[in-house]
Amino acid sequence: MVRNAPRIYSITVTKKTNNSCDSTASSSLSIGEYMRARFNSVSVATILLLALSAGGCAEQKISETNETTIKEMDMSKYKTSKPKRVMRCLFIHHSCGGQWLAERGEANEMYPDTCLYTSHPNGGGLRSLLQRNNYEVHEAAYKSAIGEKTDVCDWNEKFRDRFSEILVCDGQDALYKDSSLKNDVVVFKSCFPNNEITSEGKEPGDPDSPVKSTANYKAAYTMLLGYFRKHPHTLFVCVTAPPLVQNVPSRAKEFMKNIIGAEDSVKAFGERARRFNNWLKDAEKGWLEGYELKNVVVFDYYDLLTRQGESNYLLYPTNSGNDSHPSAKGNYLATQKFIPFLNKTVNRFVGTR
């Protein structure tokens, strides 16, 4: 749609001074000047009036995505058939991962407060389908040293200091009694709060910093490749963090933030999450650029739950759209995609061993 050239409006702002109800001052500002003013001091009614005068753009889609060309790993020539032998698979996760693995039903934990569910209302049935495809499923979650702390800033320390335990983890912090046994596949994922990336940050980033910046996130994942390279006989599957549910407290304020390019707008948060997750799976210009082994892959749980870019936010929410834990429908869809993805990945990986 072609818009007419923008017109410059003038508005008069009246404000109280010296805490006196009678003392006022007036000034004439352009729309552009007014937009750069601090939003917290402006009434919602005034912002709404401005938004409407600017052409009704407050109705814009806040969840729009940026079109970015990425090159994912090509798995087309590998079979989706299940592995010929049993593959021991460790899944490091918290609540979303536990619900994804569980069958759909009433919430039932194997152990209290661990998020190791046998069933859950949001269950995606991943565990049982993995087992039917020749995977022996082991889990580490809350209340275990291996499973605790799964934020992006925690991965570097976890894989650096606990790698030997991860490889022989039978479940939680229990290790295989048979010393000859090792996990063939290690699946790890962070939870949805990690998609609340607050800024681009400053390169080269700090892999251990709790500050949620793109630079810090990239630094954290880049460190992992050094550890994974030393274990070419283990397959590492990075699952991207599930998306956040979209929450727009005020459409008018969001509109104003978008006009000036504020870093804390809903739109900006969504776009940063999209760019980072795209970087993780981009085999040509992203995380795995130049990585020579075939023992690291990325499953884009984030993209799947946003319907491949229809939004930058969760399109399978729970609790009437207010909860970022994916619904049973979203998790079931992820299960149907993950199994053939993992089988292809394993068939590709086994051929290199």
How many helices and strands, by DSSP H and E, does the chain display?
A: 11, 12
Judged by average pLDDT, the poorest of 45-49, 65-69, 163-167, 341-345 is 45-49
Q: Which of 30-39, 117-126, 168-177, 244-253 has the lowest mean pLDDT?
A: 30-39
**Which residue did the predictor score with more confidence, 281 or 62?**
281
Tell me what the pLDDT averaged over the chain comes to: 85
pLDDT at position 339 over 90:
yes
Give phi and psi for 186, each to the nearest 5.
Answer: -120, 115
pLDDT of residue 335: 98
Q: At what angle do helices 266-281 and 251-260 cross, to 10 degrees?
A: 60
Span 34-45, mean pLDDT? Answer: 46
Question: Predicted confidence band at 251 (pLDDT cuts at 50, 70, 90)?
Answer: confident
Domain definitions of the chain by residue range: 10-56, 87-249+261-350
Count CA within 13 A, CB hemisphere, residue 148. 5
Residue 63 has pLDDT above 80, yes or no: no
pLDDT > 60? residue 294 = yes
Do the Cβ atoms of 294 and 234 come closer than 8 Å? no
CATH fit for domain 87-249+261-350, picks 3.30.365.10, 3.40.50.1110, 3.40.50.1820, 3.40.50.1980: 3.40.50.1110
CA angle 193, 215, 38 (to 5 degrees): 70
Encode pLDDT of 83-133 as tens digits.
999 999 999 999 999 999 999 999 999 999 999 999 999 999 999 999 999
Lowest pLDDT segment from 31-40, 218-227, 330-339: 31-40
User: Exposed, middle or buried: residue 45 (CB in 10 Å: 0-12, 13-18, 19+)?
Assistant: exposed
Model pTM score = 0.81
pLDDT by residue (tens digit) across 137-156?
999 999 999 999 999 999 99
For residue 67, what are the contacts with CB-CB under 8 A and spacing of at least 6? none
pLDDT band at 256 (very low <50, low <70, confident <90, very high): confident
Please check the confidence at residue 337 and state whether its pLDDT lies above 90: yes
Average pLDDT over residues 60-77: 69
276 vs 10, residue with greater confidence: 276
Question: In this predicted model, what pLDDT tens digit does every residue of 259-279 receive, in sequence order?
Answer: 877 787 899 999 999 999 999
